[in-house]
Amino acid sequence: MKLYNSGGPNPKVVRMFMAEKGIDLPKIEVDLRGGENRQPAFLARNPAGQSPALELDDGSVLAEITAICEYLDEKYRNTPSLIGDTPEQRAETRMWVRRVDLNVCEPMANGFRYSEGLKMFQSRMRCLPEAAAGPSRRSPRTGWRGSTDCWPARISSPAAA
């Protein structure tokens, strides 16, 4: 196995996960600023043109940090699971990962790509500069801008109870 690695928060998530699990894999550095990830050689591995990507021993390639981390968690069972040992623990982990991805990471990344990062990203992906500011209305409950109004009034977790 080898990890196609680069700067940026997403590969860092996988590197942190690997560090916690004590996993060491060969890394191939991808030059994002130079656009190497949008060239045919890299696109052949990950058509999404993004880093990280994990090349498995059979030559297939796994992308998306959550899928990579879950795969490594299952593959390296000699160290404690970071996802969970029971269906309930795993479900709770996945619930929070989805909430963080949809409500925090994706809006934050798009806010950057459509404003300060526009120069770098407009030739790489569809950008919507008009959406950079996001919703202007604040949630009366949380004070946050965005789609968090659809969250339950109190987010409960067994750990917090």
The residue ranges that bind ligand GSH (CB under 6 A) are: 8-10, 32, 37-38, 49-51, 63-65, 124
Q: Closest CB to ligand GSH belongs to which residue? A: 8
CA-CA distance, 139 to 43, in Å (whole number)?
A: 40
3-state secondary structure of 15: helix
CA-CA distance, 72 to 54, in Å (whole number)?
A: 10
Q: How far lies 139's CA from each of 33, 73, 96, 103, 143, in Å? A: 36, 37, 20, 13, 5
Smallest separation, CB 80 to ligand GSH (Å): 23
Smallest separation, CB 91 to ligand GSH (Å): 20
Smallest separation, CB 127 to ligand GSH (Å): 11
Residue whose CB is less far from ligand GSH, 38 or 90: 38
CA-CA distance, 148 to 152, in Å (whole number)?
A: 9
Residue whose CB is less far from ligand GSH, 74 or 149: 74
Smallest separation, CB 18 to ligand GSH (Å): 14
Residue whose CB is less far from ligand GSH, 8 or 146: 8
Smallest separation, CB 160 to ligand GSH (Å): 27
CA-CA distance, 97 to 107, in Å (whole number)?
A: 14
Contacts of residue 13, defined as CB under 8 A and 6 or more positions apart, other chains included, come to: 65, 69
Residue whose CB is less far from ligand GSH, 51 or 93: 51
Residue whose CB is less far from ligand GSH, 64 or 92: 64
